[in-house]
Chains A and B, each alone.
Chain A
Amino acid sequence: MADARASPALRGGAWFGAALVAPAAILLLLLLAYPLGLGVWLGFQDAKIGAPGQFIGMENYQYLADDPVFRLTTVNTILYTIVTVLLKLFLGLGLALVLNRSFAGVRFFRSVLLLPYVVPTVLSAFAWWWIFDPQFSFISWTLVRLGLLDHNIDFLGDSWLARGSLMIANIWRGTPFFTIGYLAGLQSIPSDVYEAAQIDGARAFRIFREITWPLLTPLTVILTTFSAIFTFTDFQLVWTITRGGPANATHLFVTLAYQRAIVGGAMGEGAAIAGVTLPALAILAFAALRAIRERA
């Protein structure tokens, strides 16, 4: 009762706070939570584009479990995410270590490095499409001209080569994300730590292993998690370069969901494919948030 008597100002404060948060909360609910919830709900329906659906329980998911294209897509997505994120991490870290040193032109190289990240993805996808073109690839052209090959490489026509080609394009585009992140991390490590290690006679590799890497670990978790989320939901590169072909060899969850739901009109099935990504994305998002909290 004492609390109740003393609470008008507090209650007023709470209402005031809620009122301030309300616009952002409403916006999030309308633009994020509602579509997400609707998407999940659609995954349990047989909805078609232009027509409401009936609730069919887990039927979409049961079908997908037996669908060879979906199973292949699952393998593709996991492989695509793991391989590209790992390679982006190593390349990004390596580049950051190089660019953290001072040498002539370092500012120029730091700026150039950002280009793949700055160029709109669709444009870079078109560029890669030409690079991997079965008839006009400059890579094939060069190798044939040098006499190292007697025919063009079928980059996008062979299942494994197509997967590898898309991974290369993704790595090219995503490496700067790691480099810039690591560069910021490296510059935040106090120089006296390095100086003390050098005085103690530690060599470069040991300094990296004992000082740099442990101090960068929280940042690595954040960068890796965010990169995994972006890669897991990659659409533009695949859709522009292969549209999921040849014979569905390069479909990722998002491209298959788009093909079936938006182009093909099978909204329920497409939503179910998108729904499959939610648990993985939720885990990744949770890991990212936790890493950010710990770092803070």
Chain B
Amino acid sequence: MTLRRSFLKWSLGAAAFAASRSVAQGTAAKYTPMFPVEKDAQLRLLRWSGFIKADEEAWNANTKKFQEATGTQVNIEYITWEDVRPKAAMAANLGTGPDLVMGWYDDPHIYPQRLVDVSDVAEDLGKSLGWYDVARAYGYSKQLKHWIAVPIGGAVQALNYRISWVKEAGFEKFPDKIEGLLKLARGLKEKNHPMGFALGHAVGDGNAWAHWWLWAHGGKAVEADDKTISINKQETWTALENARELYAQMAPGVASWLDPNNNRAFLAGEVSITNNGISIYAAAKKDFPQIAQDMDHANFPVGPVGKPTELAVFSQAFIFKYSRFPNAAKEYLRFMLSPEQAGPWVEAMNGYITPALSKYRNLEVWTKDPKATPFRDGIARMLPNSYAGSPGQHAAAALADFVVLDMFADATVNGLTAKDAAKRAEGRLRRIYRG
């Protein structure tokens, strides 16, 4: 019912611009495709399995609507999010497999020539719903000068914190600068409520906080030319020194944390602050109502660079050139990201994925519980994982190899000097970005 109400509210709000579009409101029968959908088209979609059940249910329901509206059969294969990359790459290599894929981060930029130009869909959606800057970075190929993927959104992270403990440490408001966060960390440690950020090989959480911290201090792995490695510089050394200070205030055990560890530690009251998606809050509301009441979220504080520098796991959809039904595939993406479908889908996910289209920031899901609002804003505050370079094979390899995260682990857990840790990371980056 909630989903239905949200959908109706959204539909009313979106009526003004939707009326001017060929997309019909309400029944699927009135739907007018933008592309000449191939007769008897059959699509195979490979996508990540939902973080919550409602995601897949809403996505499947929308897909059914698309099938009824266009007569196109869509078969969806849901797999673990980390398995999408090798499977999609295999399809790109072999020239056979799914027609379209919902992948992550740099995926489409690894084999851009094998993908259908989706500029028409992307520009159409962008015109009416507005892409965030980071969406353009992930969807548009600078090399080919057209869109190779339609951005979907990000599993945005925020700092999860315990309201009462932050107050106990002398902060009425959560700090919005890194300097303040360090002061808060010391205060919390004194009160025996340490914070905790993953320093083990945590693909989502570890990479998110380490990149934010590095970029916030002005450090970066590579320059915009995707050639000049610039990790071994003063900004990085400062970031590592400050990380060492932060690490001293953290809960014991963070060195080995993988993605689920901080959820468990936060819900057990072992840590006062950690970075995560909305899943901790969702679990708290279900099983630990007292914690849910005493917790809130804040966007990552800004560092010396003076602007937000966040990272979230980002998803986008792309179509392989070998597909016999490229028009049906493009139409499917356009249909699924249009307000009539995307609105209820995003509402159903309760903030797990923040859409890459800015108009969806008006959805009720982001404000009906103010604790969800930072997840709405995180997408506008993020940089692509390739920063300051462009998405592609090199950036994908650097992220997968935990180069930045391991640099922080080296400088904190392993006790290397900031310069030695940065030098080690530089060596690996030079190798990755060669040629």
Report which A residues bind B (CB closer than 8 A). Answer: 46, 48-51, 63, 67-69, 132-136, 151-152, 154-159, 162, 242-248, 259-260, 262-266
Q: How far is the CB of A137 from chain B (nearest CB, A)?
A: 9
Do the beta carbons of B89 and A49 come within 8 Å of each other?
Answer: yes
> Inside 8 A of B256's CB, which chain A residues have their CB?
132, 134, 154-157, 162, 242, 245-246
Q: How far is the CB of A278 from chain B (nearest CB, A)?
A: 22
Task: Give B99-126 as 1s and 0s: 1 = Cβ < 8 Å from A's Cβ atoms.
Answer: 0000000000011001000000000000
How far does the alpha carbon of A46 sit from the alpha carbon of B431 in the complex, in Å?
11
| Interface check B393, CB cutoff 8 A | yes
> Inside 8 A of A51's CB, which chain B residues have their CB?
93, 110-111, 393
Cross-chain contact of B253 among A67, A152, A242 (Cβ < 8 A):
A152
* Pairs of residues from A and B, 5 with the lowest C-beta to C-beta distance, nearest first: A134-B253, A157-B255, A156-B256, A264-B400, A243-B201
Known contacts A68-B424, A242-B201: A50-B114 contact under CB 8 Å: yes
> Inside 8 A of A68's CB, which chain B residues have their CB?
424, 427
How far does the alpha carbon of A152 sit from the alpha carbon of B252 in the complex, in Å?
8
How far does the alpha carbon of A242 sit from the alpha carbon of B397 in the complex, in Å?
19
Cross-chain contact of B89 among A155, A156, A162, A265 (Cβ < 8 A):
A265
Least CB separation from A134: chain B residue: B253
How far does the alpha carbon of A169 sit from the alpha carbon of B106 in the complex, in Å?
36
How far does the alpha carbon of A159 sit from the alpha carbon of B252 in the complex, in Å?
14
Do the beta carbons of A264 and B86 come within 8 Å of each other?
Answer: no
> Inside 8 A of A247's CB, which chain B residues have their CB?
199, 255, 406, 409-410, 413-414
Known contacts A49-B86, A247-B409: A156-B397 contact under CB 8 Å: no
Do the beta carbons of A156 and B200 come within 8 Å of each other?
Answer: yes
> Inside 8 A of B254's CB, which chain A residues have their CB?
134, 157
Residue among A69, A132, A155, A245 facing the most chain B CB atoms (10 A cut-off): A245
Do the beta carbons of B400 and A246 come within 8 Å of each other?
Answer: no
Do the beta carbons of B110 and A265 come within 8 Å of each other?
Answer: yes
Known contacts A246-B409, A247-B414, A265-B89: A46-B435 contact under CB 8 Å: yes
| Interface check B189, CB cutoff 8 A | no
Do the beta carbons of B413 and A157 come within 8 Å of each other?
Answer: yes
Residue among A152, A264, A266 facing the most chain B CB atoms (10 A cut-off): A264
| Interface check B270, CB cutoff 8 A | yes
User: Which residues of B from 377 to 435 have beta carbons under 8 Å from A?
Assistant: 393, 396-397, 400-402, 406, 409-410, 413-414, 424, 427-428, 431-432, 435
What would 26 A/B residue contacts be, using CB atoms closer than 8 Å?
Answer: A49-B85, A133-B264, A134-B252, A136-B264, A152-B252, A152-B253, A156-B200, A156-B256, A157-B253, A157-B413, A159-B414, A242-B200, A242-B201, A242-B256, A245-B200, A245-B255, A245-B256, A245-B258, A246-B255, A246-B413, A247-B406, A247-B414, A259-B400, A259-B401, A263-B85, A266-B397
> Inside 8 A of A133's CB, which chain B residues have their CB?
253, 261, 264
> Inside 8 A of B258's CB, which chain A residues have their CB?
242-243, 245
Q: How far is the CB of B107 from chain A (nearest CB, A)?
A: 9
Known contacts A135-B268, A246-B409, A247-B409: A69-B396 contact under CB 8 Å: no
| Interface check B292, CB cutoff 8 A | no
Report which B residues bind A (CB closer than 8 A). Answer: 82, 85-86, 89, 92-93, 110-111, 114, 199-201, 251-258, 261, 264-265, 268, 270, 393, 396-397, 400-402, 406, 409-410, 413-414, 424, 427-428, 431-432, 435
Least CB separation from B114: chain A residue: A50
Do the beta carbons of B252 and A157 come within 8 Å of each other?
Answer: yes
Do the beta carbons of B201 and A244 come within 8 Å of each other?
Answer: yes
Residue among A133, A151, A260 facing the most chain B CB atoms (10 A cut-off): A133
Least CB separation from A49: chain B residue: B89
Cross-chain contact of A136 among B93, B201, B268, B427 (Cβ < 8 A):
B268
> Inside 8 A of A243's CB, which chain B residues have their CB?
200-201, 258
Do the beta carbons of B406 and A248 come within 8 Å of each other?
Answer: yes
> Inside 8 A of B402's CB, which chain A residues have their CB?
245
Do the beta carbons of B110 and A245 come within 8 Å of each other?
Answer: no
Least CB separation from A243: chain B residue: B201
Least CB separation from A240: chain B residue: B258
Least CB separation from B257: chain A residue: A134
Residue among B253, B401, B413 facing the most chain A CB atoms (10 A cut-off): B253
Cross-chain contact of B428 among A69, A136, A244 (Cβ < 8 A):
A69
Do the beta carbons of B86 and A262 come within 8 Å of each other?
Answer: yes
Do the beta carbons of A63 and B431 come within 8 Å of each other?
Answer: yes
How far does the alpha carbon of A19 sit from the alpha carbon of B265 in the complex, in Å?
62
Q: How far is the CB of A68 from chain B (nearest CB, A)?
A: 6
Least CB separation from B268: chain A residue: A135
> Inside 8 A of B406's CB, which chain A residues have their CB?
245, 247-248
> Inside 8 A of A132's CB, which chain B residues have their CB?
256
Do the beta carbons of A50 and B92 come within 8 Å of each other?
Answer: yes
How far does the alpha carbon of A154 sit from the alpha carbon of B410 in the complex, in Å?
17
Q: How far is the CB of B85 from chain A (nearest CB, A)?
A: 7
Do the beta carbons of B401 and A264 come within 8 Å of each other?
Answer: yes
Known contacts A50-B114, A134-B252: A265-B400 contact under CB 8 Å: yes
Q: How far is the CB of A176 from chain B (nearest CB, A)?
A: 27
Cross-chain contact of A158 among B85, B114, B255, B410 (Cβ < 8 A):
B255
Cross-chain contact of A246 among B114, B200, B264, B268 (Cβ < 8 A):
B200
> Inside 8 A of B435's CB, which chain A residues have their CB?
46
> Inside 8 A of B428's CB, which chain A residues have their CB?
67, 69
Known contacts A135-B253, A265-B397: A48-B110 contact under CB 8 Å: yes
Residue among A48, A50, A67, A157 facing the most chain B CB atoms (10 A cut-off): A50
With A134-B261, A265-B400 given, can you name 13 additional A-B contacts, CB distance below 8 Å? A48-B110, A49-B85, A50-B114, A50-B393, A51-B111, A134-B254, A135-B261, A154-B255, A157-B255, A162-B256, A245-B199, A247-B255, A263-B82
Do the beta carbons of A135 and B270 come within 8 Å of each other?
Answer: yes
> Inside 8 A of A63's CB, which chain B residues have their CB?
431
How far does the alpha carbon of A248 sit from the alpha carbon of B264 in the complex, in Å?
23
> Inside 8 A of A155's CB, which chain B residues have their CB?
256
Q: How far is the CB of B27 from chain A (nearest CB, A)?
A: 41
Do the beta carbons of B409 and A263 come within 8 Å of each other?
Answer: no
How far does the alpha carbon of A18 sit from the alpha carbon of B258 in the complex, in Å?
53
Q: How far is the CB of A169 from chain B (nearest CB, A)?
A: 14
> Inside 8 A of A49's CB, which chain B residues have their CB?
85-86, 89, 93, 110, 393
Do the beta carbons of B82 and A245 come within 8 Å of each other?
Answer: no
Residue among B82, B85, B255, B431 facing the most chain A CB atoms (10 A cut-off): B255
Do the beta carbons of A264 and B396 come within 8 Å of each other?
Answer: yes
Known contacts A46-B435, A49-B86, A155-B256: A260-B110 contact under CB 8 Å: no
Q: How far is the CB of B97 from chain A (nearest CB, A)?
A: 12
